[in-house]
Amino acid sequence: MPFPNRLPTAALMLALLAVTAAAEAKPPVEEPDNLLNDRLTLQAGLVFSSNQTTVRYDSNAGNPGTVLDGEKDLGLPSRKLIGKAELMFRMKERHRVHIGNYYLPLDRHATRPLDQSVNFGNSTFLVGDVVASELNMRLLAINYSYSFVKNDRLELAASLGFDVIGFEAAATVAARLRTERQDQSAPAPLAGLDGTVRISRRFYGEARAQYVRANVQDVHGSISTYEANLLYRLSPNVSFGLGYSGFKVDVDFVKATQGGLFKLHSTGPQLFARVGF
């Protein structure tokens, strides 16, 4: 009879329906150690940066200054250890705010004789003058991101925020009691993308990039930041990361008096620890 031959098939169908009903009745338990579910994180790390710098400082009368290579002409160290910290707060499942700052800023100093005459601000430094130069930079970043893709394996987001960048350049010839100093600070809006992928239970990959090019009043230029990291989730609350990060600033101050130029490209490997809840 054909009816008994259908019993295994019917039993299998009933079993599948029972499993499906059970799965719908009880949602899967969320893994507590999934980095993609963190609501609050605090990260601190070090960047072993390699830097390329160009600077120019015009006089009050509008006469252009000498374009200087910070590392070759002024002797500024090309490598510097930078400390980065970042706070992330997830307001809702798809909404996050990041606040970043350099707790070890990119400050560099050097003293060396000049190989050429240099116009810097309202002063002219001669060949052979021993110049003590300094270049200090500060950066504070605040951005909001919305995750247009969010699941237990992948998060992709678009971000919008701003970086507050400040720098100070100074040159001093002690023998002639002459010092010139320039400092600028301005917020710059940035837009970008970031993503995190869960490779395995303990390993994650993440990447982020932001960029802006704008002309605001007397300031023309562009800013870009980027990084890519591999993370190891040691415990539900602690992760360690290894990656590569960098930023590029290209700003031209077009003013009737005391204009100038500042370019900085800083890149390097980074190590960091992250605590999340």
Q: Is the pLDDT of residue 5 over 90?
A: no
At 64, the amino acid letter reads P
| Model pLDDT for residues 10-52, shown as the tens digit of each residue | 544 544 455 455 445 444 444 557 899 999 999 999 999 999 9
Round to whole Å and give the CA distance between 43 and 38: 13
pTM: 0.81
- Quote the percentage of the chain above a pLDDT of 90: 61
Tokens of 232: 């190891």
Q: What would the mean pLDDT of 175-197 be, rounded to a whole number?
A: 85
Structure confidence at residue 19 (pLDDT): 45
CATH superfamily of 36-276: OMPT-like (2.40.128.90)
Secondary structure class of 37 (helix, strand, coil) = helix
CA distances from 127 to 72, 114, 121, 204 (A): 15, 5, 17, 54
For all residues of the chain together, what is the average pLDDT? Answer: 86
Q: Taking a C-beta distance cutoff of 8 angstroms, is the pair 57, 63 a contact?
A: no
Q: List, for residues 210-235, the tens digit of each pLDDT value.
A: 998 877 667 788 899 999 999 999 99
Q: Determine the Cα–Cα distance for residues 189 and 21; give it in Å rounded to an integer.
A: 50
Strands 123-125 and 118-120 turn out to be antiparallel
Lowest mean pLDDT of 49-58, 160-169, 172-181, 248-257, name the range. Answer: 248-257
Number of residues that make up the chain: 277
What are the residue boundaries of the structural domains of the chain, listed by start?
36-276
Reduced to 3 DSSP states, what percent helix, strand and coil does the chain have, rounded to the nearest 5? 10, 65, 25
State how far the Cα of 11 lies from the Cα of 87, in Å rounded to an integer. Answer: 54
Instruction: For the chain, list the strands marked E by DSSP.
Output: 40-57, 68-69, 79-92, 95-104, 108-113, 118-120, 123-125, 130-150, 154-173, 178-198, 203-216, 219-233, 238-253, 260-276
Q: How far apart are CA 110 and CA 132, in angstroms?
A: 6
Q: Give the model confidence (pLDDT) of 138-169 as tens digits.
A: 889 999 999 999 999 999 999 999 888 888 88
State the DSSP H helix or E strand holding residue 12, giving kind and residue range, or none if neither. Answer: helix 7-25
- H helices, E strands: number in the chain: 2, 14
